[in-house]
Amino acid sequence: MKIILDSVDIVQIQKWAYFIDGVTTNPTLLAKNGSDPLTRIKEILALLPGKDVSVEVTELEPDAMYAQAHKIAKLGSNVLVKIPCHKDYYPVIARLVNDGIKLNITLVFSLFQALSMCKLGVVYISPFIGRLDDHDIDGSELLFQLRGTIDAYNYKTQILAASIRSVLHVHEALLAGVDAITMPVKVLELAAEHQLTDQGIATFNADWQKLGISKFP
Ligand code: E4P
């Protein structure tokens, strides 16, 4: 199970670097952050050697996208290039896979889209769970369907559950057996917490203090 941070917050990435298996970025996250995107991406890459850092293309025209993907890939050996799962980009995706570029196909919303990308041999597909839920479609159900079909066809492409908005999404992704989950820092922290853990620590501490022991062991 890989845990990926869906963030460009350098402080948080540094804090969680020992635990996470990578970072996903996208144009929206970079735009909201406000710092220079290239500088920020380089900082993230330097913090996570040997891990998976996904950087999305911004060009829309296929040939320009192809050239940009190569430039992004050259930023580091830990880069995966994110390409949107649109039929106009299938030829670009096929060429890039053939060139040996590691791809994370983003904005995946259906079984056929996902399996088509597996057929082309990309490293990751990113089904967007939260955005499906936004449209009253059960995003988590797609994860179960993907796990079953990808295994049945024996494809090597990994499922990276994305657009994760809640701890419930995290647990559903785990139950579906996805290979990786990318989540915002807030969701990671919530998933790692439990009020009964906090209560238990407080109770153990209160009982221990009653003994009045200052040195142990
Ligand atoms: C993943 O690669 C995306 O950056 C991200 O999960 C999108 O999430 P959102 O739908 O909450 O914007």
Q: pLDDT digit string (tens) for 100-133? A: 999 999 999 999 999 999 999 999 999 999 999 9
Question: H-type helices in 6-125, by residue range?
Answer: 10-16, 27-33, 37-47, 62-73, 90-98, 111-120
pLDDT digits 0-9 by tens, 77-86: 999 999 999 9
What was the pLDDT predicted at 105? Answer: 98
pLDDT in tens, 15-31: 999 999 999 999 999 99
CA neighbor of 189 nearest in space, from 30, 17, 12: 12
Backbone region of residue 121 per phi and psi (left: phi > 0; alpha: psi in -120 to 50; beta: other values): left
pTM of the model: 0.96
Q: What percent of the chain has pLDDT over 70?
A: 100
Q: Whose CA is nearest to atom 10 of ligand 1?
A: 163
Report pLDDT for 78. Answer: 98
Question: What pLDDT is recorded for position 107?
Answer: 98
Give the Cα separation of 22 and 169 in Å (integer). 19
- Ligand 1 pocket test target in 26, 105, 132, 158 with most atoms within 8 Å of CB: 26
pLDDT on residue 188: 98
Average pLDDT over residues 203-208: 98
pLDDT at 76: 98
Q: Judge contact between 141 and 176, C-beta under 8 A.
A: no
Separation of 23 CA from ligand 1 center, angstroms? 11
Over residues 155-170, the pLDDT tens digits come to 999 999 999 999 999 9
Ligand 1 site residues, Cβ closer than 6 angstroms: 6, 24, 26, 106, 126, 128, 130-131, 162-163, 182
CA dist 64 and 184 (Å) reads: 30
Angle between the N-to-C axes of helices 90-98 and 111-120, in degrees from 0 to 180, rounded to the nearest 10: 30
DSSP 3-state of 189: helix
| CATH 1.10.10.10 correct for 2-202 | no
Minimum-distance ligand 1 atom for the alpha carbon of 82: 2
Q: What percent of the chain has pLDDT over 90?
A: 99
Averaged over 134-149, what is the pLDDT?
Answer: 98
